[in-house]
Structure 1
Amino acid sequence: MKQGEDRRVRRTRRALRSALVDLVLERGFRPLTVEEIIDRADVARATFYAHYQDKEDLLVGIVRDLTNDRERLLPAVEQARTEGFTGLPVLYIFQHAEREKPLYRIVLRGEGDGRALREFTAILCERAESIFRLRAEHLGATPRVPLDVLARAWTGELVGVLTWWLENDTGYSAEEVTAHLRDLAAHGRAWASGVAPGGASEARDAGDVGG
Structure 2
Amino acid sequence: MTDRRQRKSRAALQQALITLVAAKPYDAITVEDITEYADVARATFYAHVKDKPALLLEVSQQLVAELTERAQAVAAPEPPVYTGGAVFTIFDQAARHRALYRLVISGEGGSVARTELVAAFERLTGAVLTRMVAAPAHEPRVPMDVITTAYVGAILLTLERWLGEHPDADSTDPGSRQVATDFLRSQVGGLEWSLGYQPGEARFERA
TM-score bucket (shorter structure): 0.7 to 0.9
Q: Is the 8 A contact 1:56 1:115 kept in 2?
A: no
Q: Is the 8 A contact 1:108 1:163 kept in 2?
A: yes
Distance 1:7 1:141, change over 3 A: farther
The letter of the residue matching 2:180 is T
Aligned position for 2:195:
none
> Which stretch shows the higher mean deviation, 137-146 or 152-161?
137-146
Q: Is the 8 A contact 1:186 1:200 kept in 2?
A: no
The answer to whether structure 1 residue 5 and structure 2 residue 3 are counterparts is yes
Shift of 1:176: 1.9
Distance 1:52 1:172, change over 3 A: same
Distance 1:74 1:188, change over 3 A: closer
Q: Does the residue aligned with 1:144 lie in a helix, a strand or coil?
A: coil
The letter of the residue matching 2:119 is A
The answer to whether structure 1 residue 148 and structure 2 residue 145 are counterparts is yes
Distance 1:6 1:150, change over 3 A: farther
Deviations 1:139-189 (A, max 9, x none): 222221111111111111001111221222464222222222222222249
Gaps of 5+ in 2: 167-171, 192-197
Q: Is the 8 A contact 2:60 2:117 kept in 1?
A: yes
Distance 1:25 1:101, change over 3 A: closer
Identity of aligned residues (%): 32
Q: Is the 8 A contact 1:80 1:89 kept in 2?
A: no
Distance 1:147 1:47, change over 3 A: farther
Q: Is the 8 A contact 2:71 2:124 kept in 1?
A: no
Match of 1:120 among 104, 113, 117: 117
Aligned position for 1:28:
25
Measure the CA separation in 2 of the matches of 1:166 and 1:153. Answer: 20
Distance 1:41 1:171, change over 3 A: closer
Shift of 1:95: 1.6
Question: What's the C-alpha RMSD, in Å, of the aligned pairs?
Answer: 3.1
Shift of 1:71: 3.2
For 1:77-156, list aligned pairs within 5 A: 77=74, 79-83=75-79, 84-156=81-153
Match of 2:185 among 165, 183, 186: 183
Distance 1:47 1:188, change over 3 A: same
The letter of the residue matching 1:16 is L
